[in-house]
Amino acid sequence: MSLGLKELQIDATPNAHASKILSPDVLQFLLTLHKEFNERRLFLLRERERQQQDFNRGVFPKFKTVAAKSWKVTAIPLDLQQRTVEITGPADRKMIINALNSEANTFMVDLEDSLSPTWHNVLQGQQNIFDAVRGKIDYEENGKSYRLKEETAVLIVRPRGLHLQESHVLIGEDEIAASLFDFGIFFFKNAKHLLSKGTGPYLYLPKLEDAAEAAWWAEVFHFSERHIGLPPESIKATVLAETITASFQLAPIIFELRNYIVGINCGRWDYIFSYIKKFHSQEDCMLPDRNTVLMSSPFMEAYTSLVIQTCHRHGILAIGGMAAQIPIKGDDARNDIAFEKVRLDKVREVQAGHDGTWVAHPAMVAVAREAFESYMTTANQLQKPISNRVITEHELLQANLGEVTAAGVMDNIHLSITYLSRWLKGQGAVAINHLMEDAATVEIARAQLWQWRRNHVFMADGQRLTAQHYKELKEQVLQKIPAVDLLDTHTNTAIALLEELVTAREFIPFAISLAYKKLTDEKFN
């Protein structure tokens, strides 16, 4: 499919949204971004690989500081100063309307972990964002109409991470970086309109690993603003501190993004995955059952405390992590327990010093807000005294104590198969056991399985998780899958994917990158 640019080709079946979203001026901008920034992005990814080799030899990260003696962060826009409750979700039409209407302060529309990146989903997501920015988004389902209210949440967009490609857009022989594709379309199509409404092009930046990657984004922002004639520093970004390496470079990351950054979010699930991934070769860094690694775990508490300290020291917001609970219909007792878990989680966050928090469902907005406002009577906690606690490298690295159980192994297997099968069908946010799961959870689950199996971990029942015992536990899980699902291509592909991820000789960095090849190669979209 050619759209008039010789150097850029769309390798996909014509799509109803393509001509609207991928206009010639947008494509030219994407081509320009690729030429300016892709080579540096690839260098940064090679640096990740080099650093991983160090970790595999037993090296651990060290704190880095900012050399500059005098610097400051630019002011936070008025509409981003109060972010008590943020709701997040994929860029589908119904979700966008419900989230913007939810009475949350902000809505992070997600083009990353909670969106399965079929070509249809990616383009429709951009169209939905375009319509929402202009207040012209609606939806009809089962006789019910969905429309935006007069007052809605502030919109923030999360593009995909630096390591991902958008395989449907080719520049020469290169697939365009998904981060540049997602950012480029959103920014070019919407930035000026957002500014005219008194808001701006606001972003969440996922999976940054160090200050060099933050500097790359700062250069992208500076170039993009100049390219379309925006005032400097119009773009504002919140960084997701969701990698173990980023926690050792928080101040340098803020410094590199000082003209754009307004906050840091504690991306708890990806952070746990990053810990496993970076130290997968080190037996001392094995974590116990996934559901026992809590925010109260010492290494997680140290990480969030460091984020809060560092953010407040530099005048930006520290946003708490996701509450994945969703309402449980037809069971009032269990539903009450779910809401209470959210309340307690948010009380812990606000008492720790967070300025706001995340929820995954509109029904959880009120309980999260009530928890925060019971302890935080101002827009944020930037004026409160900053803790003088010294958080050490050892505290960030100390593994969570606990047991690995057969039930934990089987739960990881079940979750991985369930999530991956739905992801291959085009669904990136999946309700499993009354929790809204996204790609981060399956990354934890499959990474633990690889590490436990590879190291023949001793389990709570006294057995080692050998290859044979893992196979036996996996068979128990497969026997519980309904026969009709075992006839489904997506389920069988998910089972095969998990087998490849768990039995690979070398740790596979991202399950979703492997699954994306299936998503595109087998034409699931």
Report the candidate in 416, 424, 417 with the shortest Cα–Cα distance to residue 442.
416
Q: Report d(CA 162, CA 220) in Å as an integer.
A: 12
Within 79-210, residue ranges assigned H as helices are 93-100, 119-133, 178-196
- Burial category of 131 from C-beta neighbours within 10 Å (exposed 0-12, middle 13-18, buried 19 and up): middle
95 torsion bin: left (phi>0), alpha (psi -120 to 50), beta (else): alpha
Distances (CA, A) of 7 to 10, 176, 178, 344, 394: 10, 12, 17, 54, 50
DSSP-derived secondary structure for 401-428? P----HHHHHHHHHHHHHHHHHHHTT--
Residue 354 DSSP code: -
Distances (CA, A) of 126 to 131, 397, 418: 9, 39, 27
Residue 4 DSSP code: S
Three-class SS state of 396: helix
Please identify which of the residues 438, 446, 453, 454 carries the catalytic annotation.
438
Please identify which of the residues 41, 83, 93, 158 carries the catalytic annotation.
158
User: Is residue 25 among the annotated active site residues?
Assistant: no
Over the Cα atoms of the chain, what is R_g? Answer: 22
List the beta bridge partners of residue 437.
430
Q: Report d(CA 100, CA 111) in Å as an integer.
A: 16
Copy the structure tokens of residue 338: 């779910």
Geometric angle at alpha carbon 394, from 388 and 398, rounded to 5°: 120
HSE-CB at 366 with a 13 A cutoff on CA atoms is 4
207 torsion bin: left (phi>0), alpha (psi -120 to 50), beta (else): left
The dihedral sign for the CA sequence 412, 418, 421, 422: negative
User: Is residue 331 among the annotated active site residues?
Assistant: no
For the annotated catalytic residues, the residue numbers are 158, 438
